[in-house]
Amino acid sequence: MGAYRWSVGYGGRIPASWIWKTHPGRLPAAVGFKAHSGIFQLLPLGLRVQQKIEALLDKHMESLGASRLSLSTISSEDLWRRSGRLERVSPELFRLTDRKDVPLMLSPTHEEEITTLVAGTLKSYKDLPLRLYQTTRKYRDEMRPRHGLLRSREFTMKDLYTFDVSMESAIETYREVSGAYRAFFADLKLPIMVAEASSGDMGGDHSHEYHLANPIGEDTVATCTSCGYTANDEVAMARPPPRDGQRARRNSTEADFRVWRGITKDRKTLVNAWYPRHGNALADTDVNVHAVREAVPELDASIYDPLRSLTDALQHEEGDSSAAIQIINVVDSRLASAFGELQGKLPVVPTELSNRLINQSSVTEASTGAALNLLRVADGDGCPRCETGSLQVHRALELGHTFYLGTRYSEPLKLSVSLPNTSGGPIPIQMGCYGIGVSRIFGAVAEHKAVQRGLNWPRAIAPFEVVIIPTSGASAETLGFYDMLTGQGSLSRGFDIVLDDRKETFGWKMQDADMVGYPVTVVLGKAWREEGICEVQCRSLALKENVAVGDVPAHLRDLLARL
């Protein structure tokens, strides 16, 4: 590569095969070289895509008045233990010890670190609101890494953390960040669905996900055909079933009942969720755990083996070992009328607890008095927000997630401020956390916009906006044309262009340009050499036009403005 020129051949110093690699046997879903399971090396053009995503994020974070910082990848287990998250996420942590046997970890996220940092540096409530963000690598020991960069063990994320003195101010911050996220995805020209979501292990009670509909997505999102209601299926609700009518099961038998079991956070109460059998599926994928939690707010939905958790708690419990066990039966409204009659024939009490004294209670309606629907949403279900709409269910890729955390981390990690004219001492700061998966956007955009011929990057994050491909080798005239378009030697901003000067055939370079996915291709052939006419191609707009050399700059500006 010359002192000022970007060329695909890099002056011959880097093999062409290093520029771009794809996974064998599939369209380019991840760009780079797979080093280990779920771990990838980014190659030069791939790195440019990532850098452009990061630069676009910087622009929108600056619009919020956020300042960029860099937090350490290494965190301490003690810090996560203080926040109460260590045991819940421990299976996915990369853990290590230093030479003094201090337990450490590679951070999958940085709430604990940023909260501790701000707690140690914040001097006054006058310093609030505070907005800090970073773009960094994170680590998660995925059991089954898959889909390239979409589900990897090492990944790049942008995290924004916000700190406000009141809940009202924090919610206003949440709205502003949501606006910035929508603008960011609009710049990428991606049809994003903003879905209501669960806060999960992050905590807090206000959460939204940013999804891109795609068949390979690991998430499911329900949208209303009428009112715009959009929700992740973990929290999506359908219109409650009628208490009477054709959907109510008046003559239910034992075969109509299925049960999902959970446990409360204090590990003292077993929760049985009884819901209608839906088809012939045997897994517990049909139950809407969010609806169960609405009926039993103390439910801990993160526990996958509630019986073991209950028996472990009983073994550590002091006092009379014959003390009664509490069981709550949460019953779908379609089964409520039959549950009382069939209760004695149903496996209400697991065999592991058959020798214990049991106290039972039942919940047959939501806290609002509405009918309980414990089934996950399905295509055609009625919308819970309007009377006319029906739900459509989509597979989707999650690209971002926003959380209003409240005092979830500020309380245990002692982040507080004193306010003037108030009594009662310092108050905990209200926090928010806003993440965008840079690696996931990289992989998702590649997967979503790829066509049979190769990738098809949006202009905003393409490795280069334009590629110049001469039909013969690069010459002084070729380089002069390149310099003219890039603005070399002038004060005006030029185009983002790469010159393919590799010693390969013209046909090979054209196929490679399609695979890389440059938005615009400029071909310098015989007409250019003899008549000063270039061929300008744009696959997204299905254009192929002959343009005089002098008109190329204006033509490219017009073309790129449409992308």
Give the tens place of pLDDT for each residue, 270-328. Answer: 999 999 886 554 445 688 888 888 889 888 877 878 888 888 887 776 555 566 789 99
pLDDT of residue 405: 95
Report yes or no: 386 and 224 within 8 Å, Cβ to Cβ.
yes
φ and ψ at 79, to 5 degrees?
Answer: -65, -40
In this model, does residue 548 exceed pLDDT 90? yes
- The 8-class DSSP code of residue 365 comes to B
What is the average per-residue pLDDT within 110-115?
96
Residue 344's pLDDT is 87
Supply the mean pLDDT for the chain: 86
List residues bridging with 470 in a β-sheet: 524
CB 44 within 8 Å of CB 19: yes
pLDDT value at residue 491: 58
Confidence category of residue 365, pLDDT binned at 50, 70, 90: confident
Segment 22-31 shows an average pLDDT of 34
| Residue pair 362/333 in contact by the 8 Å Cβ criterion | no
The pTM of the full predicted model, rounded to 2 decimals, is 0.83
Closest CA to 138 of 438, 445, 443: 438
For tokens 């709550």, the residue is 328
Lowest mean pLDDT among 21-30, 57-66, 362-371, 532-541: 21-30
Q: What does 120-150 look like in DSSP terms, one character per residue?
A: HH---GGG-SEEEEEEEEEE---SS-BTGGG
Which pLDDT belongs to residue 7? Answer: 56
pLDDT > 90? residue 550:
yes
Give me the sign of the Cα torsion angle 340, 342, 348, 351. Answer: positive
C-alpha span between 438 and 214 (Å, rounded) = 17
Beta bridge partners of 454: 451
Under 8 Å between Cβ of 184 and 66? no
Token pair for residue 529? 């050499």
* CATH 3.40.50.800-classified regions of the chain: 455-561
* Upper half-sphere CA count for residue 549 (Cβ side, 13 Å): 17
Enter the CATH code of domain 51-73+108-228+391-447.
Answer: 3.30.930.10
Q: Which CATH architecture has domain 455-561?
A: 3-Layer(aba) Sandwich (3.40)
List all residues 6 or more positions away from 515 whose beta carbon is below 8 Å from its beta carbon: 20, 22, 28, 453, 454, 455
30: pLDDT strictly greater than 50: no
> Where does CATH 3.30.930.10 sit in the chain?
51-73+108-228+391-447
pLDDT digits (tens, 9 = 90+) for 429-464: 999 999 999 999 998 998 898 888 888 999 999 999
Q: What is the tens place of the pLDDT at every residue in 182-214?
A: 999 999 999 999 999 977 655 455 899 999 999
